[in-house]
Amino acid sequence: MQTLHLLINEKVYQTVMEMLSKFRKEDVEVITENEQYLSLQKYLQNELNIMNEGKATYHTIDDLENSLESEIRKHEN
């Protein structure tokens, strides 16, 4: 899927939105760049930078299972 950013004049905004709404969400999704979206984008970019710099910590499924089992045992009694 491709991402496209548009600057749309207020005079044609509603027409463009109506046209886009005719597509299925699987084909075209309108993403509003609100504060939550921009915050998530910044967070994900930071996480990608950490991975690209080789500073990320990775865990295996076994690590996760062991951690979960440990937590479950703590709360069983």
Within-domain flag for 1:
no
pLDDT in tens, the chain (77 residues): 888 889 999 999 999 999 999 999 999 999 888 999 999 999 999 999 999 999 999 999 999 999 999 999 999 87
Which domain range does residue 36 map to?
10-76
Q: Which pLDDT belongs to residue 16?
A: 96
User: What CA–CA distances, in Å, run from 42 to 2, 26, 31, 36, 55?
Assistant: 19, 25, 16, 10, 18
Structure tokens at 59: 């865990």
* DSSP tag of 23: S
The number of folded domains in the chain is 1
Structure tokens at 51: 């991975």
Within-domain flag for 5:
no
Within-domain flag for 2:
no
Q: Which pLDDT belongs to residue 24?
A: 95
Q: Which pLDDT belongs to residue 26?
A: 94
> Which of 52, 39, 43, 23 has its CA nearest to residue 4?
23
Q: pTM of the entire structure?
A: 0.54
